[in-house]
Amino acid sequence: MKAAIATIAGEVKAASAKITGVRGPTSPQARQDYEGLMAKAADVRGRALLYPYLGSGVGNGALVELADGSVKWDMICGIGVHFFGHSHPELVQAGLRGAMGDTCMQGNLQGNNDQYEFAQTLTRLAKRNSRLAHAYLATSGCMANENAIKVCYQKHAPASRVIAFKDCFMGRSVTMSQIGDAAANRMGIPLSTQVDYMPFFDPEAAQRMGLARYTDLSVWHLMQYIERYPKQHACFIFELVQGEGGFNVAPREWLKALMDVCKAHHIAVWDDEIQTFGRTEQMFAYETLDLGQYVDVFCVGKMTQVCATMWTPEYNPGPGLLSGTFTGGSTPFLIGQRVLEMLERGDLYGPLGKAARLHASFAQQVKNLAANHPEWFPPVQLPLGHTTKEIVGGRGGMMRFTPFGGNKDKIMKACKTMFDEGVIVFYCGHGPYHIRMLPPVPVFNEADWPKVFECVERGLAKAAG
């Protein structure tokens, strides 16, 4: 079996090695066939795909080939899922081992040991700097969130309210659509979940007021909810770095002050790291911010392939609360295990780790671009009429920049024109809007940033026209 896996993986590696740079479709016929595939995809799903993306099934690190033979830089990676890029040889081999198992899917009632080995590795890593002790696996980040809210509700019954940050995103189930702060995602859904929204950290306001005074104001704001609805909040959902909300960051002192309030009033601190995990200067964002001791419930997903809800011993739920036919597929369990091992052994973390280095070089590329095209980078429009000249944000492997003053229409257009020019990006934020990148940090060559930004520059030029 090992020899067979090695042979297949070798063939994949040989095909992958032929992908060396951005290119267009291999022929007019290939493009025509691709358009036909796109039309069929749109027909079966009831609306056109947001991006005209249909992969061929092969890539090379940060480069991905589409079904028409074209190749693009993948700087969004399935919204952060493909952290080790495309056709990674170790993950190909892990996937082949998983595919040779007796079943494709594993579940809560019947499963192989693969799922528990993954959960044990994840728990071991989490325990280094937190009190998280147990894990339950799920097939999506949204389902991991559903399990987390059930754990919080049960622990703090009959409390029924939830605190979350403005502009948060939690998934698209009925409950998570209600918690997520995007009205379009819950149109027509009956509202049954009671949510109180806290503003996320505002660096401009904190600078004007001073961090201490701004923190005091945020604590006062949180206390208004707690005093208005005494003993009715089951949890406060913390995104230590906001994802869909705009790759927004916050200092430890501010987050700690809010968590201190939660602890004093017996409100669960739920750390949502489904997009953040693995991408900051430490493997867990709570490690980066030294907040692990505050975390009661935790969710992870995306790059781990398998999603999970974790909790401390005090939050261990009663029997029957968490279950499901599927906990995940045999292939994702083995790939997820390999991902965790490679994260642990690699050079990604620390102040001089690859995540920090790539973010710094990304920021320099943006600044160079702005110096060459200042007309594309006017002051960014903020709420309440303020503006900022800060055009780079995020943390580690979560990168964003803000052309066109954060204008939604221009940003959306730029995402599509950059796709046409050979680089796949996406947007984030809710006014201002930003260009978002989630590059495959472990396999991305820092020397390739100029090639990526050549595509970015051409795309922005089209969007600006």
What pLDDT is attached to residue 298? Answer: 98
Residue 372 shares a structural domain with residue 446:
yes
* Cα–Cα nearest to 268, from 259, 276, 255: 259
Residue 62 shares a structural domain with residue 162:
no
CATH code of the domain containing 381: 3.90.1150.10
Residue 39 shares a structural domain with residue 166:
no
* Cα–Cα nearest to 280, from 305, 249, 238: 249
Angle (nearest 5°) at CA 193 between 192 and 195 = 140
User: Which of the listed residues 323, 345, 367 is the one where a domain comes to its end?
Assistant: 345
Residue 66 shares a structural domain with residue 128:
no
> Does residue 289 form part of some domain?
yes
Residue 428 shares a structural domain with residue 326:
no
Q: Taking the alpha carbons of 125, 130, 136, 140 in that order, is the dihedral positive or negative? A: negative
> Does residue 385 form part of some domain?
yes
pTM of the model: 0.95
> Does residue 160 form part of some domain?
yes
Residue 150 shares a structural domain with residue 245:
yes
- Please tell me the total count of domains within the chain: 2
Torsion angle of alpha carbons 79, 82, 86, 92, nearest 10°?
-150
> Does residue 94 form part of some domain?
no
CATH code of the domain containing 148: 3.40.640.10
What pLDDT is attached to residue 465? Answer: 85
Residue 170 shares a structural domain with residue 65:
no
What pLDDT is attached to residue 292? Answer: 98
Residue 320 shares a structural domain with residue 385:
no
> Does residue 265 form part of some domain?
yes
What pLDDT is attached to residue 366? Answer: 98
What pLDDT is attached to residue 2? Answer: 86
Q: Which phi and psi (to 5°) does residue 89 adopt?
A: -60, -40
> Does residue 45 form part of some domain?
yes
What pLDDT is attached to residue 383? Answer: 83
User: Which of the listed residues 345, 370, 389 is the one where a domain comes to its end?
Assistant: 345
Per-residue pLDDT of the chain (465 residues; tens, 9 = 90+): 888 899 999 999 999 999 999 999 999 999 999 999 999 999 999 999 989 999 999 999 999 999 999 999 999 999 999 999 999 999 999 999 999 989 999 998 999 999 999 999 999 999 999 999 999 999 999 999 999 999 999 999 999 999 999 999 999 999 999 999 999 999 999 999 999 999 999 999 999 999 999 999 999 999 999 999 999 999 999 999 999 999 999 999 999 999 999 999 999 999 999 999 999 999 999 999 999 999 999 999 999 999 999 999 999 999 999 999 999 999 999 999 999 999 999 999 999 999 999 999 999 999 999 999 999 999 998 887 788 999 999 999 999 999 999 999 999 999 999 999 999 999 999 989 999 999 999 999 999 999 999 999 999 999 998
Residue 289 shares a structural domain with residue 304:
yes
Residue 194 shares a structural domain with residue 72:
no
The alpha-carbon radius of gyration of the chain (Å, integer) is: 22
> Does residue 182 form part of some domain?
yes
Q: Is 435 helix (H, G, I), strand (E, B) or coil?
A: strand
> Does residue 417 form part of some domain?
yes
Residue 252 shares a structural domain with residue 320:
yes
User: Which of the listed residues 311, 329, 345 is the one where a domain comes to its end?
Assistant: 345
What pLDDT is attached to residue 384? Answer: 77
Q: Which phi and psi (to 5°) does residue 389 adopt?
A: -95, 0
Helix (H) or strand (E) holding 59: strand 55-60
Residue 287 shares a structural domain with residue 421:
no
Domain extent at residue 44:
2-89+352-450+459-464
Say how far residue 427 (Cα) sits from the centre of its chain. 12
